[in-house]
Amino acid sequence: MEHQHIDKVGKSHLMMACERGDLAEVQRLLPSAHLTATTRSTGQTALHVACIQGSVPILRALLEVVPDVNVRDKAGATVLQYAIVNRRESAIAALLDTAGVDVDAADASGNSVLHYACNCNNVALVKALLARPSLDATRYNKSGLSALHVAAQRGFESCLQVLFAAGVVDADGRTCLMLVQNAVETARLLVAYPALDVNVASKDGATALAHACRGNHEDMIAYLLTIPRVNVHA
């Protein structure tokens, strides 16, 4: 049968139609297509391919019939995570409006949807996710990093502002200021935030200044020492 055609990497005819952005062909194939078929190498489904390509009409057509909106590839990545990585904003919006979508799903490396959003500096999505009651904003991936770590380490100030305003801290009590390492300009932005306590300590009793000293972040140490309210004895 035509719709069962498979290419060398294991893409079905339906996947190839999604890849081309051919809505008419997708609609023709859907009634008899194998919706859960995956590619041999990555385990992508037609829904993953649609999120890479970014056609919302194709995505909506698939969402009406696919059995699982949270289907994963071989690396454990969901279709929502694919849409985020490929910066398909309309596809992201469509998926967030889909019943049953798991906004707290994590891939095989433990990276959640919020990790993906922060890694891509998608501020609007970070805000939308933080508004979801089911979201665990402080979860760690398998490398021991939270979404806050990701935003801080990549120097994404807008994401940090949103996380900070939402009161997001890591499970060990470290605040944004403790995570920016040697990014002084990012630190200036955070210190200007009215609610910031520069002397707050993590669960091990270390302040931002102590964390900077531990990491030998000389620029950060020098900057923190210029702030009158920093307690050098903490």
Q: What is the pLDDT of residue 10?
A: 62
Architecture of domain 1-102 in this structure: Alpha Horseshoe (1.25)
Q: Give a three-class secondary structure readout of the chain.
A: CHHHCECCCCCEHHHHHHHHCCHHHHHHHHHHCCCCCCCCCCCCCHHHHHHHHCCHHHHHHHHCCCCCCCCECCCCCEHHHHHHHCCCHHHHHHHHCCCCCCCCCECCCCCEHHHHHHHCCCHHHHHHHHCCCCCCCCCCCCCCCCHHHHHHHHCCHHHHHHHHHCCCCCCCCCCHHHHCCCCHHHHHHHHCCCCCCCCCCCCCCCCHHHHHHHCCCHHHHHHHCCCCCCCCCC
Average pLDDT of span 132-150: 91
Render pLDDT for 106-132 as a digit per residue (tens, 0 to 9): 999 999 999 999 999 999 999 999 999
Which pLDDT band holds residue 168 (cuts at 50, 70, 90)?
A: confident
CB contact at 8 A, 143 and 167 = no
Please say whether the beta carbons of 134 and 103 come within 8 A. yes
Q: Please give the Cα distance from 118 to 124 (Å, whole number).
A: 10
Supply the CATH classification number for the domain 103-169. 1.25.40.20
The domain 172-234 is placed in CATH, from the list 1.25.40, 1.10.287, 2.30.42, 1.10.10, at 1.25.40
Distances (CA, A) of 119 to 25, 95, 171, 192: 34, 19, 19, 24
Domain boundaries, the chain: 1-102, 103-169, 172-234
Q: What is the pLDDT of residues 62-116, one digit of tens each?
A: 999 998 999 999 999 999 999 999 999 999 999 999 999 999 999 999 999 999 9
Hey, what amino acid is at 172?
Answer: D
Q: Which residue has the higher pLDDT, 140 or 196?
A: 140
Q: Do domains 1-102 and 172-234 have the same CATH topology?
A: yes
Q: Average pLDDT of the chain?
A: 90
Specify burial of residue 195 (Cβ count, 10 A radius: 0-12, 13-18, 19+): exposed
- Say if residue 93 is exposed, middle or buried (CB neighbours under 10 Å; 0-12, 13-18, 19+): middle
Q: Inform me whether the pLDDT recorded for 7 exceeds 70.
A: no
Distance CA 68, CA 75 (A): 17
Alpha carbon dihedral 103, 61, 4, 39, in 10-degree steps, equals -20
Give the pLDDT band (50/70/90) at residue 36.
confident
The pair phi, psi for residue 112, each rounded to 5°, is -85, 175
Specify whether the CB–CB gap between 154 and 122 falls below 8 A: no
Task: Tell me: pLDDT of 5 over 70.
Answer: no
Q: Whole-prediction pTM value?
A: 0.82
Per-residue pLDDT reduced to its tens digit, 191-234: 887 778 999 998 899 999 999 999 999 999 999 999 999 999 88
